[in-house]
Amino acid sequence: MILESAELRVIELPLKFRFETSFGVQTKRSILLLTLRSGGLEGYGEGVMERLPLYREETLAGAEQLLREVFLPRVLGRDIPNPEALEAILKPFRGNRMAKAVLEMAYHDLWARSLGQPLWALLGGVRDRVPVGVSLGIQESVEKTVEAVERNLEAGYLRIKLKIKPGWDVVPLRAVREAFPEATLTVDANSAYQLADSKVFAALDELGLDYIEQPLAYDDLHDHARLQARMRTPLCLDESVLSAADARKGLESGAGRVINLKPARVGGHLESRRIHAVALASGAPMWCGGMLEAGVGRAHNIHAATLEAYSKPGDVSSASRYWETDIVNEPLEAVCGEMPVPEGPGIGVTLNRAFVERISLSKQELRP
């Protein structure tokens, strides 16, 4: 498959809600959107890096520069037969997995379309719908938190994840647990705590949480292992896992017992499949995370989550929760806590071009 041309855009999309986490507040997304073209077909990839390196180190500006000046010039005009061949071209460059994932995932979409196959089938998926939960940002009050949980349980979401930060953890969680004794509840700290916060962890350990996501530093598996050793509640690794090697070390060392896998965090679908193989072999459950993706990233995530070990509900909730208008034409809506996999070749969605044009901050055409 010869990659004939590419279009790299930065688009900006207002969120329907204010999303507060331990690392900041988001009210809109700035998104790197890549289109790859070959033989009259297009494939799409969406970046999850933000303008500021608050989640991991990568930034939108850094990723855009790498794609424009380094990655795309090395692939445009070349015959790249499969994802492995693309990966070999990107391999010498260290890190920058979110930037690589934009290209790797767009390539996967285009490749699947060129073969007339849905992406999930090429990845080895085993289901045509995926279980979904919802990730709720830090709310204004305990009362509003309980209300938000109630609304989302009524909407059918199978698991509620609440963002926490020091000073906003045990009190809201106790109230939610009291109001919903049977709900599947989890928390996500986005690396805001330290081992010394033992009182908070001891209290959270009493609340019957399904797991505690990324409590400690984003690059510290060692302290996660120490914390996990003294807790009953499983720890779930998000920021700490960038590769299959990280997943193996995290699970072997007992740093966590669950993995939140975001294909766009780890370099794309190939590395995601390797992480999936590690999780499957060790019996650790996984689920597909999210980064407030628009329709292209969300569709990729849904396809990824069709693999066997993604047994827990993922953060791939309905697009209509996030946006008045999505960037794809197909509605990505959960039904009774399950997200149907978009049908058709590739990721199964098409771009709403007029809308994408309207929300573009920049657009670059790239040719060999």
Question: Which of 3, 29, 45, 55 is close enough to bind ligand OSB by CB under 6 A?
Answer: 55
Pairwise CA distance, residues 23 & 19, whole Å:
11
Q: Does 210 bind Mg ion (CB under 5 A)?
A: no
Pick what 135 binds: Mg ion, ligand OSB, none; C-beta below 5 to 8 Å, kind-dependent. ligand OSB
Select the span of 28-36, 64-72, 284-292, 348-356 touching ligand OSB (CB under 6 A): 284-292
Q: Does 42 bind Mg ion (CB under 5 A)?
A: no
How many helices and strands in the chain, by DSSP H and E? 14, 13
Q: Does 291 bind ligand OSB (CB under 6 A)?
A: yes
Please check whether residue 185 is in contact with residue 158, taking contact to mean a CB–CB distance below 8 angstroms.
Answer: no
> Mask of contacts with ligand OSB, 306-335, x by CB under 6 A?
---------x-x------------------
Pick what 291 binds: Mg ion, ligand OSB, none; C-beta below 5 to 8 Å, kind-dependent. ligand OSB
Q: Which residues, numbered 219-238, are part of the site for Mg ion (CB under 5 A)?
A: 238
Please check whether residue 349 is in contact with residue 220, taking contact to mean a CB–CB distance below 8 angstroms.
Answer: no
Q: How far is CA 207 from the centre of its chain?
A: 26
| Minimum CB distance to ligand OSB, residue 316 (Å) | 7
Neighbouring CB atoms inside 10 A of 54's CB total 14
Cα 324-314-84 angle, rounded to 5 deg: 100
Task: Give, in order, the Cα–Cα distances in Å from 199 to each of 169, 205, 233.
Answer: 11, 10, 14
Pairwise CA distance, residues 238 & 147, whole Å:
27
Clarify whether 165 is annotated catalytic: no
Using Cβ positions, the residue closest to ligand OSB within the complex turns out to be: 290
| Minimum CB distance to ligand OSB, residue 178 (Å) | 24
Question: Which one of 91, 100, 161, 262 is the catalytic residue?
Answer: 262
Among 347, 311, 281, residue whose Cα is nearest residue 121? 347
Clarify whether 262 is annotated catalytic: yes
- Calculate the CA dihedral of residues 178, 284, 259, 271 and round it to 10 degrees: -160
Question: Which of 118, 256, 290, 313 is close enough to bind ligand OSB by CB under 6 A?
Answer: 290
Question: Which of 188, 210, 246, 326 is close enough to bind ligand OSB by CB under 6 A?
Answer: 188
Question: Which one of 163, 165, 199, 312 is the catalytic residue?
Answer: 163
Q: Does 64 bind ligand OSB (CB under 6 A)?
A: no
Q: Which SS3 state, helix, strand or coil, does residue 307 take?
A: coil
Question: Which of 20, 238, 246, 271 is close enough to bind ligand OSB by CB under 6 A?
Answer: 238
Among 194, 190, 198, 188, residue whose Cα is nearest residue 230? 198
Q: How many residues make contact with ligand OSB (CB under 6 A)? A: 11
Q: Does 188 bind Mg ion (CB under 5 A)?
A: yes
Of the pair 262, 273, the CB lying nearest ligand OSB is at 262
Q: Does 263 bind ligand OSB (CB under 6 A)?
A: no
Pick what 315 binds: ligand OSB, Mg ion, none; C-beta below 5 to 8 Å, kind-dependent. ligand OSB
Using Cβ positions, the residue closest to Mg ion within the complex turns out to be: 238
Q: Which residues contact 58 (CB under 8 A, 6 or more apart)?
A: 49, 96, 97, 98, 99
Q: Which residues contact 333 (CB under 8 A, 6 or more apart)?
A: 318, 319, 320, 339
User: Parallel, antiparallel, or unpaired for β 24-38 and 41-46?
Assistant: antiparallel
Select the span of 29-37, 287-295, 302-310, 327-335 touching ligand OSB (CB under 6 A): 287-295
Active-site annotation, residues = 163, 262
Residues forming contacts to ligand OSB in the complex (CB under 6 A) are 55, 135, 188, 190, 238, 289-292, 315, 317
Residues forming contacts to Mg ion in the complex (CB under 5 A) are 188, 213, 238
